[in-house]
């Protein structure tokens, strides 16, 4: 056994103690160094990101997560990486691991509120039916419960309002939408929340409340996109539902132009309010902007229904299938050969009516399809409630369906009119609750009828009374409270005001 001499013991004791001393100091120094490194890595990534060197930025931030996971920058980096995946890469799935980690490891960090919100928004986007919104709503509620003072609360409340709206829970939707602007005055969310509240109020049958709320949007955020949207919605609601002036034929539109189209057969409105026209002799659709028609999308001979997706892409339903402006291939429509109308719901599903099929066929975004029991339908138009307005000539009824395809309002043909009509050639909706029907037959004859969101008759006129003698095949409600008719015989459009 080695025994150290007494002279040697103090230095030896000191040497023994050194590692312990070093260890005691090490965490502090290492922590400070980590902090410095994390700081530098974060800002380096930020610089790269600002110059759109995304690869360099994300690599740098990933390195930060590896080397300094306890740094104050780690939750911020996770949030930024998630946002990058969503906003730049358009890969929401790739964002989720970052958001999961943010929630599980950094729930106390202030960035967790935004992370929960984003996660909820991704889940809401993925939802394909009301029940799918459950997890998204849980995330929004977590934001409110865990971070009541966070700025993300305003957006979370608005998202909850939309989720309740999409489930048809109008009262709860209204509560959340009102709280989203009442509890967050002046926030960026406020105009959107007010707008949402206005639309919900309309769904609840409170037209004055809806109009006051839209006016509030215009007064408090006059420069916002919602204020622009509110302006035309107020105009059409007041004109169709309150003023209800008799229709007046303004003649060929726009600007009195005649014989300028090649057999126009279908009309539809794009999300921005532009009119879409399908010209049968040209086999393609055109966008009418500033009185000029420009070709839109690929040729689609025999198009029977025309619609625009929420992002503005043109969809045309033909005998051969669905021709999409934003997709290369034609998608088959299960052999539906007599398509009489189509609409996209807010879950991304395409509802198709066929004049020879006694059911509605629903094509889901993931490619699957199902049928919903229905009489044979002659026309179809989407409703802002998420449901549909459909016309069944066989039953001589106009039906207002809910988002599940179940009838909520039934309006017999000719109700409240001086005389009944027999058929509905086309239906159109304006997005603000009004539904226009192009009708024919019976004692009423050929003409137009406008219904409110509750099925009430708002305005009507016969073509005879208006002096219209062409062959009208389609119609559209414009954003000024007017009605555009498509006259295939005379190759022109007519506007009723």
Residue 391 three-state SS? strand
Stretch that binds other proteins, among 44-52, 108-116, 206-214, 321-329 (CB under 8 A): 206-214
Residue 228 three-state SS? helix
Q: Confirm or reject binding of residue 215 to other proteins (CB under 8 A).
A: yes
Task: Take residue 59 and report the two structure tokens written for it.
Answer: 């690599």
In the complex, the smallest distance separating the C-beta of residue 482 from other proteins, rounded to whole angstroms, is 11
Q: How far apart are CA 78 and CA 112, in angstroms?
A: 10
Phi, psi torsion values for 319, nearest 5 degrees: -60, -30
Stretch that binds other proteins, among 169-177, 257-265, 345-353, 362-370 (CB under 8 A): 169-177
How many helices (H) and strands (E) the chain has is answered by: 12, 23
Q: Which residues contact 470 (CB under 8 A, 6 or more apart)?
A: 487, 488, 489, 490, 492, 494
In the complex, the smallest distance separating the C-beta of residue 33 from other proteins, rounded to whole angstroms, is 13
Q: Confirm or reject binding of residue 213 to other proteins (CB under 8 A).
A: yes
In the complex, the smallest distance separating the C-beta of residue 186 from other proteins, rounded to whole angstroms, is 5
Q: Confirm or reject binding of residue 409 to other proteins (CB under 8 A).
A: no
Q: How far apart are CA 425 and CA 412, in angstroms?
A: 15
Q: Confirm or reject binding of residue 216 to other proteins (CB under 8 A).
A: yes
Cα within 13 Å of Cα(71), Cβ side: 26
Sheet with 457-462, edge to edge strand ranges: 423-429, 435-440, 447-451, 457-462
Q: Confirm or reject binding of residue 208 to other proteins (CB under 8 A).
A: yes
Q: Confirm or reject binding of residue 422 to other proteins (CB under 8 A).
A: no
- Under rule CB under 8 A, how many of the chain's residues touch other proteins? 35
CA angle 358, 319, 383 (to 5 degrees): 55
Which residues ranging from 453 to 482 are in contact with other proteins (CB under 8 A)? Answer: 480
Nearer to other proteins, 236 or 285 (CB): 236
Which residues ranging from 242 to 261 are in contact with other proteins (CB under 8 A)? Answer: 242-243
Nearest to 304 by CA among 340, 276, 252: 340
Q: How far apart are CA 125 and CA 142, in angstroms?
A: 18
Task: Say if CB 368 and CB 359 are below 8 A apart.
Answer: no
In the complex, the smallest distance separating the C-beta of residue 153 from other proteins, rounded to whole angstroms, is 9
CA angle 312, 90, 148 (to 5 degrees): 95
Which residues ranging from 172 to 191 are in contact with other proteins (CB under 8 A)? Answer: 172, 174-175, 178, 182-187
Q: Out of 212, 248, 370, 471, point to the residue binding other proteins (CB under 8 A).
A: 212
Which of 327-342 are b and which e, b meaning 16 or more Cβ less than 10 Å from the residue's Cβ?
eeeebebeebeebbbb
Nearer to other proteins, 61 or 181 (CB): 181
Nearer to other proteins, 211 or 353 (CB): 211
Which residues ranging from 220 to 239 are in contact with other proteins (CB under 8 A)? Answer: 231-232, 234-235, 238
Q: Do you find a cis peptide bond into 254, omega within 30 degrees of 0?
A: yes
Residue 310 three-state SS? coil
Stretch that binds other proteins, among 88-96, 208-216, 317-325, 419-427 (CB under 8 A): 208-216
Q: Confirm or reject binding of residue 360 to other proteins (CB under 8 A).
A: no
Nearer to other proteins, 182 or 356 (CB): 182
Nearest to 160 by CA among 185, 148, 143: 143
| Token pair 């035309």: residue | 232
Q: Confirm or reject binding of residue 204 to other proteins (CB under 8 A).
A: yes
Q: Confirm or reject binding of residue 152 to other proteins (CB under 8 A).
A: no
Q: Confirm or reject binding of residue 285 to other proteins (CB under 8 A).
A: no
Q: Confirm or reject binding of residue 70 to other proteins (CB under 8 A).
A: no
Q: Confirm or reject binding of residue 33 to other proteins (CB under 8 A).
A: no
Q: Confirm or reject binding of residue 211 to other proteins (CB under 8 A).
A: yes
Nearer to other proteins, 155 or 345 (CB): 155
Which residues ranging from 308 to 337 are in contact with other proteins (CB under 8 A)? Answer: none
C-alpha distances in Å from residue 452, one per residue of 210, 384, 456 = 14, 12, 5
Contacts to other proteins by CB under 8 A: 148, 154, 171-172, 174-175, 178, 182-187, 197, 201, 204, 206, 208-209, 211-216, 218-219, 231-232, 234-235, 238, 242-243, 480
């Amino acid at each position: 056994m080695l025994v150290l001499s007494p002279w040697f013991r103090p230095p030896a004791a000191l040497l023994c103690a050194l590692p312990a001393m070093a260890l005691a100091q090490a965490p502090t120094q290492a922590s400070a160094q980590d902090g410095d490194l994390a700081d530098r890595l974060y800002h380096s990534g930020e610089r790269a990101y600002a110059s759109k060197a995304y690869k360099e930025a994300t690599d740098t931030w990933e390195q930060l997560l590896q080397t300094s996971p306890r740094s104050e920058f780690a939750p911020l980096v996770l949030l930024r990486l998630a946002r990058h995946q969503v906003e730049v890469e358009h890969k929401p799935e790739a964002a989720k691991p970052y958001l999961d980690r943010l929630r599980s490891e950094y729930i106390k960090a202030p960035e967790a509120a935004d992370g929960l919100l984003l996660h909820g928004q991704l889940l809401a986007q993925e939802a394909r039916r009301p029940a799918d919104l459950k997890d998204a709503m849980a995330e929004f509620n977590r934001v409110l419960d865990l971070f009541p003072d966070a700025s993300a609360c305003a957006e979370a409340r608005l998202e909850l309002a939309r989720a309740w709206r999409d489930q048809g829970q109008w009262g709860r939707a209204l509560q959340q939408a009102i709280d989203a602007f009442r509890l967050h005055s002046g926030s960026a969310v406020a105009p959107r929340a007010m707008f949402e509240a206005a639309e919900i109020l309309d769904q609840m049958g409170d037209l004055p409340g809806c109009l006051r709320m839209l006016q509030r949007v215009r007064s408090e955020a006059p420069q916002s996109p919602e204020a622009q949207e509110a302006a035309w919605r107020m105009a059409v609601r007041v004109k169709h539902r309150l003023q209800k002036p008799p229709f007046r034929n303004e003649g060929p539109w726009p600007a009195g132009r005649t014989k300028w189209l090649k057999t126009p057969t279908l009309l539809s409105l794009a999300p921005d309010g532009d009119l879409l026209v399908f010209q049968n002799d040209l086999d393609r659709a055109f966008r009418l902007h500033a009185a000029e028609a420009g070709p839109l999308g690929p040729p689609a001979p025999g198009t029977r229904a025309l619609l625009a997706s929420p992002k503005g892409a043109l969809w045309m339903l033909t005998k051969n299938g669905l021709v999409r402006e934003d997709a290369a291939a034609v998608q088959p429509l299960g052999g539906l050969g007599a398509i009489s109308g189509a609409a996209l719901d807010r879950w991304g599903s395409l509802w198709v009516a066929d004049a020879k099929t006694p059911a509605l066929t629903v094509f889901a975004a993931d490619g699957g399809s199902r049928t919903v029991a229905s009489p044979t339908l002659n026309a179809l138009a989407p409703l802002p409630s998420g449901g549909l307005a459909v016309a069944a000539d066989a039953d001589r009824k106009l039906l207002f369906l809910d988002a599940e395809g179940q009838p909520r309002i039934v309006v017999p043909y000719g109700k409240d009119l001086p005389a009944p009509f027999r058929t509905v050639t086309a239906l159109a909706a304006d997005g603000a609750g009004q539904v226009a029907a192009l009708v024919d037959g019976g004692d009423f004859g050929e003409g137009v009828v406008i219904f409110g969101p509750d099925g009430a008759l708002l305005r009507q006129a016969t073509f005879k009374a208006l002096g219209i003698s062409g062959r009208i095949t389609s119609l559209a409600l414009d954003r000024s409270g007017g009605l555009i008719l498509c006259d295939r015989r005379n190759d022109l459009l007519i506007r009723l005001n």
